Amino acid sequence: GDIMQVIKIDSLLLINDYYGDSLLTVFNLNNNKIERRLLGQGDGPNELLSPLEVLLLNNNLWILSRPIHLLNHLSTQSIHKSPKLVRDLQAKTEADCFVPLTDTQFVLSGFWKKRYAWMNLQKSDELK
């Protein structure tokens, strides 16, 4: 695949690929081997459409599937087990990139008049 992003968590590298059957690969730096592949390409459970934007906050990997504007997360502890992708929010179609502020609040950049929006998983509001 084509690497878009690399995130380090302890001795693991999470590689965000643009192409391929697996969009997120976990590489173990201790043994220099691929530990597992996460997030298949598609519309099913634990699948998303590329390109992805992946950010780490606290114990979660927050993942925005840009083509469908879907914000999701995976627990970092689940990377070693059977990870379950949680679909959190259908973002507005103007959304392009995001920054998690907390586990429920996000700032999204995109194609709004003021360029940014604030989203809350408990209530979707836009910055004015």
What global pTM score does this model have?
0.86
Question: What secondary structure does DSSP assign to 8-40, as a single string?
Answer: EETTEEEEEESSSSEEEEEEETTTTEEEEEEEE
- Residue 97: pLDDT band by 50, 70, 90 thresholds? confident
The stretch 68-90 carries a mean pLDDT of 88
For the chain, what is the total number of helices (H) and then of strands (E)? 0, 12
Strands 33-41, 47-48: pairing kind? parallel
pLDDT for position 128: 34
Judge contact between 78 and 85, C-beta under 8 A. no
The CA distance from 119 to 6, in Å, is 25
18-55 per-position pLDDT tens digit: 877 889 999 999 999 999 998 989 988 889 999 999 99
